[in-house]
Amino acid sequence: MLEAGSDLDLYDGPSPIGEAELAARLQGKHGLVCVLTDRVTANVLDRARDLKVVSNIAVGYDNIDVAAARSRGIVVTNTPDVLTEATAELTWALILAVTRRVVEGDRLVRRRGWKGWALDFMLGTELRGKQLGIIGRGRIGRAVAAKAGAFGMHAVFATRGARTTDLPEMSLDELLVSSDVLSIHTPLSEANKHMIDRRALARMKRSAFLVNTARGPIVDEEALAWALKEHLIAGAALDVYEREPEVHAALLDLENVVLAPHLGSATRETRTAMAELAVKNTLAVLQGRPALTPVG
């Protein structure tokens, strides 16, 4: 618990807090519990002279300048594990939605365009016997792979170097050319920004589907729209975007794209657990104990 008389400042504005306001409100504060839309930059940290801990309610932490925080002795934490299953479940929901054209069919019914059953109507793609390519060998990627067998798929992970695990692996290029569904579960970094670009998309099967529940900038949305329009891949399902909440305009008009509003961890159980873990991390550090889930 916080000590009696502690100052708790809650931001409840309708849009993400700006850097200037965040920096101003951190004056005299020792802990920050934030979400992925809060940009905790070096400039913000420079002005937050009393800050001891930044607890992110997310497993990713690309919204925080971790190196700048570490150089100032500020502990950064995230919320791994508690959102793994929820995000893996959402990934499979997107895979099924795009391969079986569920969302496309829903739109058709709602606009009263459905004329009845037909033998060749809205044919989708079966998953049984297909390869699920996974970029990212962390908790979420493994949880997604663990469910592949239930759909008769075999999962293979991308590796960029020598084999480091006992998981089924192949090079990224091999994964691109051989996978029927490619699912992204790697953290965002400068090294993998636009990892899925025109070249990568052109390497994929014409019958393949791309799914992204990681971070938007890993996929070049303009390149993705081009690949879909040119029928270089069969479809895509996205839960994250380059400039959230903005979505590339060209994607909005395509029927073979499923667009979800960043729902990966959006269950009552998971979001509650994430918030609770972030608070526990903050209290631990402020009370002189090690953080439960520190970054790095």
Concerning whether 262 is annotated as a catalytic residue, the answer is yes
Is the CB of residue 181 less than 8 Å from the CB of residue 95?
yes
Find the catalytic residue in 104, 215, 221, 242: 215
Task: Report CA dihedral (281, 286, 291, 296) to the nearest 10 degrees.
Answer: 100
**Please, where are the H alpha helices in 127-206?**
139-146, 172-178, 198-203
Tell me how far apart the alpha carbons of residues 240 and 218 are, in angstroms, rounded to a whole number.
10
Find the catalytic residue in 25, 39, 262, 271: 262
Is the CB of residue 230 less than 8 Å from the CB of residue 254?
no
Concerning whether 100 is annotated as a catalytic residue, the answer is no
Tell me how far apart the alpha carbons of residues 272 and 275 are, in angstroms, rounded to a whole number.
5
Residue type, 125: T
How many other C-beta atoms are found inside a 10 Å radius of the C-beta of residue 192? 18
Residues paired with residue 54 on neighbouring β-strands, in sequence order? 32, 76
Concerning whether 30 is annotated as a catalytic residue, the answer is no
**Please, where are the H alpha helices in 179-255?**
198-203, 221-229, 249-252
- Catalytic sites, residue numbers: 215, 244, 262
